[in-house]
Structure 1
Amino acid sequence: MISFNYEIEFNLQEEAAVSNWISNLIKEEDCREGEINYVFCSDDYLHKINIDFLNHNTLTDIISFDYTVGKELHGDIYISIDRVKDNAKDFNVQFKDELARVMAHGVLHYCGYKDKSEEDVKIMRSKEDYYLSKRV
């Protein structure tokens, strides 16, 4: 089950369609959908999590806590709406497209994709682009 939670004044448009899109991504990656919680928050909220849990004193657009068991995906995905807005401007893309990329990115991590090496980043970006093309 995919759920959407809000720590700021923000509402995801078309929650049901987004949930179906993420569910289809999970199925196509040959995984099973467990409990996946998206938490939309501010820079300050996510920065505190980054410091408290990861010991990183930096801003970031996404932090995911992976509780996956085998191929059944479970986790909490925190997304800073502030960062996504800024990144959309920096990359000259629509906010909704950058938000979808980040949402897919978190789930792709649960599917086993990494982004530490240059090669891993290329694979991750390719997967993100592929699933973005399948959005309704």
Structure 2
Amino acid sequence: MALQLEWNNEQEIIEIGQDLIDLLNTLLQKAAEAEGITAGEVALTFVNDEEIHVLNREYRGIDRPTDVLSFAMNDAVEEEQEIVYELEEGEELGGLDDLLGDIIISVETAQAQSEEYGHSLYREIGFLFVHGFLHLLGYDHQDEASEAEMMSKQEAVLAEAGLTR
């Protein structure tokens, strides 16, 4: 199985065109290659600030909107298999094994940030997508060293795709 991007649009602020999806697919392939990931699926959902605010409050206990949320499946799937799914010997979970996780991007916040930083909306959404993907792989930015590592990886992928500031 190759790396796949499944996406869903749950907002009406911007039109999500094939050119943006193609760009995100390119970024996914480049980021995955840099990390040695050859297979899996990433689920991406575009939302507005109201929806991401609800998710941020519910899952992170932070009562405000944010730009991107990531929900990795690498740890949760095995636990869920034991609790929810009673599989027969040799039976597979039917695709959940391959799901790396979900990325949710608020296009409303992405649009505001692109204006604030003086670059294109596509560059901002691309940055948020790569950022979310790295979180799915276990990267974090809780301290200066891990933030610098994550930022370096993000910028390298974006530069390779021609999305510079």
Query: One fold, TM greater than 0.5?
Result: yes
Name the SS of the counterpart of 1:32 in structure 2: coil
1:132 equivalent in structure 2: 158
Given that residues 53 and 64 in structure 2 are in contact (C-alpha distance below 8 angstroms), is that contact kept between their aligned partners in structure 1? Answer: yes
Letter matched to residue 100 of structure 2: H
Q: Which of 134, 142, 147 pairs up with 1:121?
A: 147
Query: TM-score of the superposition, structure 1-length normalised?
Result: 0.88
Given that residues 46 and 104 in structure 2 are in contact (C-alpha distance below 8 angstroms), is that contact kept between their aligned partners in structure 1? Answer: yes
Letter matched to residue 7 of structure 1: E
Q: Distance in 2 between matches of 1:33 and 1:103?
A: 17
RMSD over aligned Cα, in angstroms? Answer: 1.8
Gaps of 5+ in 2: 76-97
Name the SS of the counterpart of 1:58 in structure 2: coil
Matched, 1:5 2:11: no
Q: How many residues align?
A: 134
Gaps of 5+ in 1: none
Name the SS of the counterpart of 1:76 in structure 2: strand
Given that residues 26 and 161 in structure 2 are in contact (C-alpha distance below 8 angstroms), is that contact kept between their aligned partners in structure 1? Answer: no
Q: Which of 98, 108, 126 pairs up with 2:124?
A: 98
Given that residues 33 and 73 in structure 1 are in contact (C-alpha distance below 8 angstroms), is that contact kept between their aligned partners in structure 2? Answer: no
Which of 1 and 2 has greater Rg?
Answer: 2
1:65 equivalent in structure 2: 71
2:33 equivalent in structure 1: 27
Percent sequence identity is 25
Query: TM-score of the superposition, structure 2-length normalised?
Result: 0.74
The structure with higher relative contact order (CA 8 Å, sep 6+) is 2
- Once the two structures are superposed, what CA deviation does each residue of 1:70-110 show, in whole Å capped at 9, x if it has no partner? xx661010000011011111212211111100000011112
